Amino acid sequence: MQNPDLAPVPELYVSYDSAQKLKAEAGSLLSHDLTPRQICDLELLMNGGFHPLKGFLGQQDYDSVVETMRLADGRLWPMPITLDVSEAFADKVEPGQDIALRDQEGVILATMTVTDKWVPDKPREARHVFGADDSAHPAVNYLHNQAGKVYLGGPVTGIQQPVHYDFRGRRDTPNELRAQFRKLGWRKIVAFQTRNPLHRAHQELTFRAAREAQANLLIHPVVGMTKPGDVDHFTRVRCYEAVLDQYPAATTTMSLLNLAMRMAGPREAIWHGLIRKNHGVTHFIVGRDHAGPGKNSEGKDFYGPYDAQTLFRQHQEEMGIEMVDFKHMVYVQEKAQYFPADEVPEGATVLDISGTELRRRLAEGLEIPDWFSFPQVVSELRRTRPPRSRQGFTVFFTGFSGSGKSTIANALMVKLMELGGRPVTLLDGDIVRKNLSSELGFSKEHRDLNIRRIGYVASEITKNGGIAICAPIAPYATTRRAVREEIEAFGAFLEVHVATSIEECERRDRKGLYKLAREGKIKEFTGISDPYDVPQNPELRLETEGNDVDNCAHQVLLKLESMGLIAA
């Protein structure tokens, strides 16, 4: 497959003059503040990365994409690109109306003529697009717990690109890449998609792919949104830059793609292929478990390791981009060389380090061998991920009022301060309600907001190498999970369920609140007249009945030690 013309792909931007005019007029339009994921989607819609889409999907296209991987007119498009909004916002919009789409600073990026407004069947979307309505899948979790309840669809008029202050020289629109390929005379280009740092196996794989396809190589990492818990893109780009020296400059280039991944495995592979086709690429590498989301809630993989290759193969002709497929690459000791797993010489010694093992070695400050990665990459990763005993972390106590959370949290704080080495902050339920959340009550909405605030502060503390100890009731599992995700981007999260029964808490009734709750004088009281989701898999469950405070705090210390977070 060759790319004979590399003619520009259609963009959705208007001319500079029209953009100025539109910007001025848009002052009077209803504004939607885009979420980070919507900004990524909008950027690729406007710059042609999502060609042939002309805007956020309308209902007919959405239904068709969800069920058949095709737009209503039959063209292949596997991913619903939708503008989700809150019910409150949707109530203000009627089909036919123009709205302004703004970034988080309020800068107008585009306008959209709303043609459709509907409430999607999210479980159906989850089942069709992601294979299961299982919130262990990051995109399903996003769909149910982050995305708004209503979708708006309609064509977009692009005013300006989202602004990026980082790695500007490394970001290219589809047409910029096409122009670059045209200028260099590159006709066959194989793209490598990645959301991970490049190690030696990846280098070998990309070399082989370029050789096999007799093509130039585009390293095309995703820097928009990837899987929660991934290495942040700043670190990754520094790693890529370090490895780029190992590639022949005349045949290889790197460009950053501001895509928000969905981790949809096979469907995502097709989507990635179409996006690369729009960037002027002719060949696309699909390896093992492409865009895999990890394990489902039963501990099984969502997709088979080569499902993405199978689906891609079925559609590559129609897509106009050819797959270069690879088996998992492993290191063969005797040959001091990488091989695809199915080409390993018989009887040879195979070495491999999985992603989980690499994270463990980084976390524990253990050796990462030269055959596995490049010294510059390892040192970048070590700078970002120091051993766990030097990282920040959060201990998050949850349980009923009067369960003993605050008392144990206080004891733990003192013990950690005695150990020294890291600053410790206690975000106790009552303290937070006094200082951060004084205006909030106990409705679900207010409790969620309260916990989100605690999560935000704890994540900042964790990011900066400190210890945050939180001790709110935090009755909702989905909110606790959201906080966990926010914090795990920077360090460990230890959920401790203080499992004192409601009967015991009521019997103790230290603050006299249970009595008032029973009398109906306090409404929405957790455990009496309001729900509490018992944590299913906390890192630690503390039974306080018959266990003194010192012992409970000590159990937390032992857990922290076993996780490598404090020195033994």
| Residues in region 410-429 near ligand PPS by CB under 6 A | 429
User: From residue 308, how far is each of 99, 143, 205, 269, 290 by CA, in Å?
Assistant: 37, 22, 17, 6, 6
**Binding segment (CB under 6 A) for ligand PPS, from list 61-69, 156-164, 471-479, 495-503:** 471-479
Instruction: Please state whether beta strands 467-471 and 393-398 pair in parallel, antiparallel, or not at all (unpaired).
Output: parallel
Residue 426 is encoded by which pair of tokens?
């206690």
Minimum distance, C-beta of residue 449 to ligand PPS, in the bound complex (Å) = 8
> Is 195 a catalytic site residue?
yes
404 near ligand PPS, judged by CB under 6 A: no
Q: Binder to ligand PPS among 433, 463, 541, 559 (CB under 6 A)?
A: 433
By the rule CB under 6 A, 447 interacts with ligand PPS: yes
Q: Which one of the spans 17-25, 149-157, 322-330, 522-530 is the region binding ligand PPS (CB under 6 A)?
A: 522-530
Establish whether 464 is a catalytic residue. no
Please select the residue that binds ligand PPS; options are 166, 334, 370, 430, rule is CB under 6 A: 430
400 among the known binding-site residues? yes
Q: How far is the CB of 453 from ligand PPS (least distance, A)?
A: 10
Which span (94-102, 258-266, 524-532, 557-565) binds ligand PPS, by CB under 6 A? Answer: 524-532
**460 vs 524, beta carbon nearer ligand PPS:** 524
Strand, coil or helix: 129: helix
Question: Binders of ligand PPS among 475-504, rule CB under 6 A?
Answer: 475
As given in the structure block, the two tokens for residue 101 are 């789409």
406 annotated ligand binder: yes
Distance of CA 509 to CAs 161, 504, 549, Å? 57, 8, 17
CB of 470 to ligand PPS, least distance (A): 9
Q: Does 389 bind ligand PPS (CB under 6 A)?
A: no
Consult the annotation and say whether 74 binds a ligand. no
Supply the minimum distance, in Å, between the C-beta of residue 380 and ligand PPS.
39
Q: What are phi and psi of 370, to 5 degrees?
A: -65, -30
Sequential DSSP letters for 355-415 = HHHHHHHHHHT----TTTS-HHHHHHHHHHS--GGGS-EEEEEE--TTSSHHHHHHHHHHH
> How many residues of this chain bind ligand PPS (CB under 6 A)?
21
d(CA 320, CA 277): 7
Choose, by CB under 6 A, the member of 206, 253, 309, 526 that binds ligand PPS: 526
Catalytic member of 195, 236, 262, 385: 195
Q: DSSP string of 84-128? A: EE-HHHHTT--TT-EEEEE-TT--EEEEEE--EEE---HHHHIII
**Token digits of residue 191:** 């793209």
Amino acid residing at 153: G
Helix (H) or strand (E) holding 29: none
**474 touches ligand PPS (CB under 6 A):** yes
Closer to ligand PPS at the Cβ: 363 or 409? 409
Q: What is the DSSP letter of 340?
A: E
Q: Is 196 a catalytic residue?
A: yes
User: How many C-beta atoms surround the C-beta of residue 142 within 10 A?
Assistant: 19
Q: Which listed residue (194, 407, 450, 479) is catalytic?
A: 194
Nearer to ligand PPS, 219 or 473 (CB): 473
- Residue identified by tokens 């007119």 is 73
Name the residue among 533, 532, 513 with its Cα closest to residue 523: 513
302 is in an annotated binding site: no
Shortest reach from residue 460's CB to ligand PPS, in Å: 19
- Least distance to ligand PPS, CB of residue 510, Å: 8
Q: Is 399 annotated as a binding residue?
A: yes
How many other CB atoms are there within 10 angstroms of residue 444's CB atom? 13
Contact residues toward ligand PPS (CB under 6 A) are 401-402, 406, 429-430, 433, 442, 447, 450-451, 472-475, 511, 513, 522, 524-526, 530
Active site residues: 194-196
Q: Which residues are annotated as a binding site?
A: 399-406
Q: Which residues are annotated as a binding site for ATP?
A: 399-406
